[in-house]
A = this chain, B = another copy of it.
Amino acid sequence: MAKMTLDEIYALSEKTLMDNGCDAPNAAAVSRTITAAERDGSQSHGIFRLPAYIKGLREGDANGTADPTIEQVAPSVIKVHGQEGFAPLALERAKNPLVKLAKDQGIAMCGLTRIRHFAALWPEVEMLAEQGLVGFAVTAAVPYVAPAGGREALFGTNPMAFAWPRESGGVLAFDQAASVIARGDVMIHARDGHPVPEGTGLDKEGNPTTDGAAILDGGVQLAFGGYKGSAIALMIELMAGAMIGEVFSFEAKETAVPGCPFNGGEFLMAIDPSKTAGANFLAHGEKLLGKIENMEGARLPGARRHANRAKGGPVDVSDKILEAVAAL
């Protein structure tokens, strides 16, 4: 393990991306996202992902010089055309127009299209909540998860993220896959020979298994909470796919280059509670959140991530990852 400051992580990420064909705006946006993940203790979305971003560039699947454009397609709807670039720059471009639209209209949405998504969704919903808005985002992936009752992968691990502004100026946010555990966690459990939780997936014969390797070897993952999580995964496919004119997970796979960030879309929504509730919404929200903060055993979603954030680094980065990045 190496200790790295957040500035060092940012600089390493930016240089590696620019050495491999990213222009400055794209390298900066991806590096901000990677650095934010490391800052929050989300190593699985941090510098660990850099080799896949670079693979996307080298394979010609991702456009390192994408210049995402905004189009207003209805009074309360914008779309971002991502030009096959990585999602972070497209999301940064969407921010100001979406915030303004939500504040003008009360509710507004953004369909992000033709992006390569490989990060968590909390950065975009937190960015909205930091402006006093409610944020909601979903995106699909490639097929890993079977619909409830079925044995064939159809849905992505399909995360849903939500953020609410706090009276303190901070935010409440959650960001969770529709699968029981993330794809990367299945891989890590398989590598280390540890069993995955019951309900995580089926082997290639369709039998429940706690062997991560059996899930990866022709098996499928399952949605959290049985048919209810499966319904949510389906909703996410529709919202991030056909609803915004983008591909479903099974369609994304048809053109996917293995090991590169996913192509597809993202649905992002913002609501301005000062319009929909009135002036008191912040204090009102705290009454509920305070009850959870004060309840023995309970905690707010994202609390651990925000505690890591408060530390501000430095963080531990594995030597193996640094070797892989140095080779790029």
The answer on a CB contact under 8 Å between A176 and B231 is: yes
0/1 string, A139-164, CB within 8 A of B gives 1: 00000001111111010000000101
Chain B residue contacts of A224, Cβ below 8 A? 224-226, 228-229
Interface-facing stretch out of A19-27, A32-40, A45-53, A237-245: A237-245
Q: Which residue of B lies closest to A104 (CB)?
A: B75
What is the oligomeric copy number?
A: 2
Which residues does chain B contribute within 8 Å of A285, judged by CB atoms? 238, 242
Nearest-neighbour CB distance to chain B for A79, whole angstroms, equals: 8
Please provide the chain A residues from 206 to 234 with a CB less than 8 Å away from any CB of chain B in the complex. 224-232, 234
How far apart are the CA atoms of A111 and B91 in the complex, in Å? Answer: 28
Interface 9-residue window, one of A6-14, A188-196, A268-276, A313-321: A268-276
Q: Is A277 an interface residue (CB 8 A)?
A: yes
Contact between A291 and B106 (Cβ–Cβ < 8 Å)?
A: no
B interface footprint on A97-116 (CB within 8 Å = 1, 0 otherwise): 00000001111110100000
Do most interface residues of chain A lie in helix, strand or loop, or is the interface mixed? mixed
The smallest C-beta distance from A208 to any residue of chain B, in angstroms, reads: 13
Q: In the complex, are the beta carbons of B229 and A150 less than 8 A apart?
A: no
Q: In the bound complex, what is the Cα–Cα distance between A152 and B74 (angstroms)?
A: 45
- Complex: chain B residue closest to A251, CB-CB: B287
CB < 8 Å neighbour of A134 from B74, B232, B243: B243
CA distance A248 to B107 in the complex (A): 21
In contact, A278 and B106 (Cβ under 8 angstroms):
no
A235 on the B face (CB < 8 A)? yes
Question: Does the CB pair B298–A150 fall under 8 Å?
Answer: yes
Give a binary string over A256-290; 1 marks a CB under 8 Å from any B CB, 0 the rest: 00000000000001011101111011001101100
- Check: A73 CB closer than 8 A to any chain B CB: yes
